[in-house]
Amino acid sequence: MSQGNLYILSAPSGAGKSSLISALLEQDQANTMMVSVSHTTRQPRPGEENGVHYHFVSVEEFELLINEGAFLEYAKVFGGNYYGTSLPTIEKNLAQGIDVFLDIDWQGAQQIRKKVPSVKSIFILPPSLAELEKRLIGRGQDSAEVIADRMTKAMDEISHYNEYDYVIINDDFTRALADLVHILRAEKLTLAYQTEQNQALINQLLAK
């Protein structure tokens, strides 16, 4: 069985990253892709399910996992809550040939690149700041102050786009989704992947 690929997906809030991931997984009839479910110490929000949206744990449990080296990356964010990506879970799924997607920010991405140099990273850009703000307002979920804060954070997030392997501009959703699919397909056609996947055939073709 071939090894799955590990991907990082990052984007400012409102760029459409979550929608693209959801649409991608809906196309995955063979169940060969998954999004990593992070651990967090924050309380569940209405409608969130443990093990589906996050693995909700106590601070004590999280810090125990840190000491055990159980996280590929983790951070303590504003408000004092921990967020982390489980290393054993990712390794298990990759070994089963499943492509795993990490929905994380640029800081988490930097941590992971140091530990997993082979990881591929994709950054989703909005077509403009005006469109990004329009999308955030259109959600109808946040106050003007929160939206202003998200826009400030978005500009900081966007400034790290050049640390990524691929960049997709989500102007037209259908085209952006196709671009994402093409990236995944291209990664399956690399020399390293094809050699691992088809070594028997290659040996046969080269046999004298």
Q: Give pLDDT tens digits for 16-44.
A: 999 999 999 999 988 899 999 999 999 99
Instruction: Assess if residue 171 is contained within a domain.
Output: yes
Specify if 48 maps to a domain: no
Q: Dihedrals φ, ψ of 3, to 5°?
A: -75, 140
Q: 109 lies in which domain range?
A: 6-36+99-206
Contact assessment for residue 6 and residue 119, using Cβ atoms and an 8 Å cutoff: yes
Give pTM, 2 decimals.
Answer: 0.88
How many domains does the chain contain in total?
1
Strand order in the sheet with 99-103: 33-35, 99-103, 6-10, 120-125, 166-169
Give how far the C-alpha of residue 194 lies from the chain's centroid of Cα atoms, to the nearest Å: 24
pLDDT band with cut points at 50, 70 and 90 for residue 1: low
130-154 per-position pLDDT tens digit: 999 999 998 887 888 989 998 999 9
**CA 26, 32, 35 angle in degrees (round to 5)?**
65
Cα distance from N-terminal residue to C-terminal residue, the chain? 27
CATH of the domain at 194: 3.40.50.300
**Domain-located, residue 49:** no
pLDDT (tens digit per residue) in 81-139: 999 999 999 999 999 999 999 999 999 899 899 999 999 999 999 999 999 999 999 88
Q: Is residue 185 part of a domain?
A: yes
Whether residue 52 is contained in a domain is answered as no
Least confident of 58-62, 72-76, 162-166: 72-76
